[in-house]
């Protein structure tokens, strides 16, 4: 019996040693240990001063029929989220006229982006602690409540506050859908089903402007329906989510889960981001850049942001944004790209309707038609990018193609003028939209592929937070550029009442002073053209950044199972090597 057991140990020793030598270089590059439940924990190989909190692995696989149903349910949530974001753009002039808030109407979008950005970083950890399903349902409810209250708004502050509530939910929906998808399907197989989500994004983004344009054209009083329609559709998502979305039990009671939340990180992150972004959005338009209020807010916001980083680094037991996510050059480059293309994408969607309506004088519905090629091409690019990654089991070829197309499309926008033909708009939109589609989802897949399994949720939420931060900064900076260039381009002899109307955002073509219409339109065109010029080098930097991103094969379920088995053998090999010298000494 003893000899047999000894022989088995030796066989296991040789088998484990062979496997260990074969994958030794992989283990060195991705240090991982296996916990009791089979999940990997990259931090376990290094001594940590902070006690580690074990998280439940929420990965699960569903039968094909149920997987498709769940995917359709998640796609519906995506559709509503993007419909909500884009449905207000063409309704902004009607809202401004109805509530008398023309000078601050941009805060409809700004408040949404601020709230989305401030809370985005939290969703990954909340999903780890409480489970994907309850957090996703809570986000949908937040969007519903915010949109319903927006429709009843009687003044600007009411509208902007409620829009922020909707932004908290809208940002969470985007993150939670992507996190849930990463639990259900491996990276390698995701392309087979990704078309559903990409199509939902395109449909939602495309239907939004048409919905609001059809509602408000000629009837300013119907602007509340631009908020109520997304709220009604979002309410239809709740029953399928409750009934169909699987929920893997998460260890711990509610009190334990609440204690796991990084409350100090949440407080410093939310307040720091708001204190920085509010003056960035208001400086130069609402308040002078050199005003004491702007300087004070920026100073306090910067201190709080640094405090947040210190909390995540030294104090948080379960940080919302582990700083190790930035330890890799590839991941850091991808995060930087997400910030830059978030800047360009959101500002682009914001200024295109302004260009079509304010400079070209197109009706809201025609403006929506001209935006449609961009959104349809984005949807098609997203649909095609997924099978391309599945076929090649790589993400970098798709990212390269996407950024090349996006750079070309951004360059074509420099041709826009007061007399540009419709064909130029369509070609530029198709090229740029295809580039956007080939970048959005593949950039997330790349980050998830470069992360360990326990970090997928926080990587996803951090990526969405970085992109949302770029979006908020993009709209703010682009608005400041457009406003500054427009005002400085106005003729010196422009009547005071016309100049005041332009500065307040209430000027309209064919108003009481038609003789000055051409001069004002020239100034507005220069302002928007300067914004389009800003976009080109930013996307060019994203293209250049691809040189520093490592391209690794996308793993399927078989690959992950093989990797897990290899790690278990390594663990057994380590234990055997520790025991064998003691046995030899005993003999």
pLDDT at 20 over 50: no
What is the predicted pLDDT for the residue at 140? 96
pLDDT at 564 over 70: no
When pLDDT is averaged across residues 513-520 and rounded to a whole number, the result is 73
The β-bridge relationship of strands 40-41 and 33-34 is: antiparallel
* CA–CA separation, 394 and 396 (whole Å): 6
Q: CB-based contacts of 19: which residues, under 8 Å, 6+ apart?
A: 566, 569, 570, 573
* CA–CA separation, 38 and 565 (whole Å): 10
Query: Given the structure tokens 């948080």, which residue do they identify?
Result: 316
Domains, the chain: 64-261+318-548 (1.20.1250.20)
Better pLDDT: 121 or 548: 548
pLDDT at 196 over 80: no
What is the predicted pLDDT for the residue at 163? 94
Strand partners, 41: 33
**Cα–Cα distances in angstroms (integers) from residue 96 to residues 6, 100, 302, 425, 583, in the given order:** 83, 5, 33, 27, 83
List, as own/partner pairs, every contact residues 333-338 make where C-beta atoms lie below 8 angstroms and the sequence separation is at least 24, other chains included: 333/545, 333/548, 333/549, 334/443, 334/446, 334/447, 334/450, 334/463, 334/549, 335/447, 335/462, 335/463, 335/466, 336/545, 337/443, 337/542, 337/545, 338/443, 338/463, 338/466, 338/467, 338/470
In this structure, what DSSP letter does residue 249 have?
P
Structure-block tokens of residue 37: 């439940």
pLDDT at 457 over 60: yes
When pLDDT is averaged across residues 202-218 and rounded to a whole number, the result is 80
pLDDT at 34 over 80: no
Is residue 333 within 8 A of residue 545, CB to CB? The reply is yes
Sorting pLDDT into bands at 50, 70 and 90, what band is 484? Answer: confident
pLDDT at 64 over 90: no
What is the predicted pLDDT for the residue at 8? 47
Q: CB-based contacts of 372: which residues, under 8 Å, 6+ apart?
A: 206, 209, 210
What is the predicted pLDDT for the residue at 39? 41
Sign of dihedral through CA atoms 269, 272, 278, 280? negative
In this structure, what DSSP letter does residue 311 have?
I
Residues listed for the chain = 587
pLDDT at 25 over 60: no
- The H or E element containing residue 34 is strand 33-34
- Helix (H), strand (E), coil (C) string for 46-70: CCCCCCCCCCCCCCCCCCHHHHHHH
Is residue 413 within 8 A of residue 396, CB to CB? The reply is no
When pLDDT is averaged across residues 442-456 and rounded to a whole number, the result is 89
What is the predicted pLDDT for the residue at 434? 94
What is the predicted pLDDT for the residue at 102? 76
Residue-wise pLDDT tens digits, 363-401: 878 888 888 899 889 889 988 988 888 888 899 999 999
What is the predicted pLDDT for the residue at 264? 92
What is the predicted pLDDT for the residue at 579? 59
What is the predicted pLDDT for the residue at 285? 64
Least confident of 12-26, 147-161, 474-488: 12-26
Q: For the residues of 347-375, what is the DSSP string, one character each?
A: HHHHHHHHIIIIIS---HHHHHHHHHHHH
Share of the chain above pLDDT 70, in %: 82
Q: For the residues of 560-571, what is the DSSP string, one character each?
A: HHHHHHHHHHHH
**Cα–Cα distances in angstroms (integers) from residue 292 to residues 282, 284, 286, 297, 579, in the given order:** 13, 13, 13, 9, 68
When pLDDT is averaged across residues 58-64 and rounded to a whole number, the result is 84
pLDDT at 362 over 90: no
Where residue 316 falls (left for φ over 0; alpha for ψ -120 to 50; beta otherwise) is: beta
Better pLDDT: 237 or 499: 237
What is the predicted pLDDT for the residue at 357? 84
Residue-wise pLDDT tens digits, 170-195: 989 988 998 898 888 887 777 667 77
Q: Which of 188, 577, 527 is nearest to 388 (CA)?
A: 188
Least confident of 76-90, 243-257, 277-291: 277-291
**Cα–Cα distances in angstroms (integers) from residue 501 to residues 155, 203, 271, 400, 484, in the given order:** 20, 36, 34, 45, 15
When pLDDT is averaged across residues 564-573 and rounded to a whole number, the result is 53
* CA–CA separation, 312 and 315 (whole Å): 6
Residue 67 exposed, middle or buried by CB count within 10 Å (0-12, 13-18, 19+):
middle
When pLDDT is averaged across residues 489-503 and rounded to a whole number, the result is 77
pLDDT at 38 over 50: no
* CA–CA separation, 561 and 462 (whole Å): 27
Structure-block tokens of residue 422: 């419709």
pLDDT at 248 over 90: no
Q: Which of 436, 430, 408, 266 is nearest to 338 (CA)?
A: 436
In this structure, what DSSP letter does residue 454 have?
G
Q: Which of 441, 384, 449 is nearest to 186 (CA)?
A: 449
* CA–CA separation, 326 and 331 (whole Å): 6
* CA–CA separation, 94 and 218 (whole Å): 9
* CA–CA separation, 354 and 340 (whole Å): 22
Least confident of 33-42, 415-424, 461-470: 33-42
Q: For the residues of 538-556, what is the DSSP string, one character each?
A: HHHHHHHHGGG----PPP-
Better pLDDT: 557 or 317: 317
Better pLDDT: 214 or 268: 268
Average of per-residue pLDDT values in the chain: 81
Query: Where do the H-state alpha helices sit in 413-556?
Result: 422-449, 456-488, 496-504, 517-545
Least confident of 144-148, 366-370, 448-452: 366-370
Least confident of 4-8, 236-240, 333-337, 503-507: 4-8
When pLDDT is averaged across residues 485-495 and rounded to a whole number, the result is 83
When pLDDT is averaged across residues 251-266 and rounded to a whole number, the result is 84
Answering whether pTM is above 0.85, one says no
Sign of dihedral through CA atoms 155, 160, 165, 169? positive
**Cα–Cα distances in angstroms (integers) from residue 552 to residues 179, 393, 394, 400, in the given order:** 21, 8, 7, 15
- Greatest alpha-carbon pair distance for the chain in Å reads 106
């Amino acid at each position: 019996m003893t000899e047999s057991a000894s022989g088995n140990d030796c066989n296991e020793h040789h088998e484990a040693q062979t496997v260990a030598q074969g994958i030794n270089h992989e283990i060195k590059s991705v240090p991982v240990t296996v916990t009791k439940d089979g999940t990997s924990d990259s931090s376990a190989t290094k001594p940590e001063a902070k006690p580690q909190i074990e998280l439940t692995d929420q990965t699960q696989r569903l039968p094909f029929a149920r997987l498709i149903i769940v995917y359709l349910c998640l796609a519906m949530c995506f559709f509503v989220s993007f419909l909500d974001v884009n449905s207000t753009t063409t309704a902004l002039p009607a809202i401004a006229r109805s509530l008398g808030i023309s000078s601050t109407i941009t805060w409809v979008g700004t408040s949404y982006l601020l709230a989305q950005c401030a809370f985005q970083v939290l969703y990954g950890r909340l999903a780890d602690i409480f489970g994907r399903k309850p957090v996703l349902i809570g986000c949908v409810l937040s969007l519903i409540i915010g949109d319903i209250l927006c429709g009843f708004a009687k003044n600007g502050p009411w509208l902007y506050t409620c829009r922020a509530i909707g932004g908290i939910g809208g940002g969470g929906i985007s993150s939670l859908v992507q996190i849930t998808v990463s639990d259900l399907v491996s990276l390698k197989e995701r392309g087979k089903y990704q078309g559903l989500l990409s199509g939902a994004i395109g449909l939602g983004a495309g239907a939004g402007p048409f919905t609001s344009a059809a509602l408000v054209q000629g009837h300013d009083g119907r602007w509340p329906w631009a908020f109520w329609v997304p709220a009604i559709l979002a309410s239809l998502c709740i029953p399928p989510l409750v009934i169909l979305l699987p929920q893997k039990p998460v260890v711990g009671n509610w009190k334990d889960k609440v204690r796991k939340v990084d409350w100090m990180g949440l407080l410093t992150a939310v307040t720091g981001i708001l204190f920085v972004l509010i003056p960035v959005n208001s400086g130069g338009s609402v308040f002078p850049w050199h005003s004491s209020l702007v300087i004070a807010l920026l100073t306090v916001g910067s201190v709080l942001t640094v405090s947040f980083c210190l909390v995540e680094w030294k104090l948080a037991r379960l940080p919302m944004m582990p700083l190790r996510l930035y330890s890799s050059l590839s991941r850091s480059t991808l995060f930087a790209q997400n910030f830059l293309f978030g800047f360009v994408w959101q500002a682009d969607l914001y200024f295109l309707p302004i260009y079509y309506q304010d400079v070209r004088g197109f009706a809201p519905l025609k403006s929506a038609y001209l935006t449609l090629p961009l959104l349809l091409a984005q949807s098609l690019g997203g649909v095609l990018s997924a099978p391309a990654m599945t076929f090649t089991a790589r993400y970098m070829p798709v990212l390269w193609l996407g950024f090349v197309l996006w750079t070309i499309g951004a360059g074509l926008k420099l041709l826009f003028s007061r007399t540009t033909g419709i064909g130029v708009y369509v070609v530029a939109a198709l090229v740029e939209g295809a580039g956007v589609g080939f970048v959005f989802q593949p950039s997330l897949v790349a980050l998830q592929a470069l992360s360990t399994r326990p970090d997928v949720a926080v990587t996803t939420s951090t990526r969405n937070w970085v992109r949302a931060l770029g979006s908020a900064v993009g709209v703010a900076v682009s608005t400041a550029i457009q406003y500054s260039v427009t005002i400085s381009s106005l003729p010196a002899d422009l009547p005071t009442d016309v100049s005041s109307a332009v500065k307040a955002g209430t000027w309209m073509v064919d108003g009481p002073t038609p003789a000055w219409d051409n001069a004002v339109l020239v100034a507005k065109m220069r302002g928007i053209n300067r914004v389009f010029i800003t976009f080109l080098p930013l996307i060019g930097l994203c293209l250049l950044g691809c040189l520093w991103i490592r391209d690794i094969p996308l793993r399927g379920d078989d690959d992950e199972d093989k990797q897990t088995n290899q790690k278990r053998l390594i663990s057994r090999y380590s234990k055997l090597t520790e025991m064998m010298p003691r046995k030899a000494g005993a003999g």
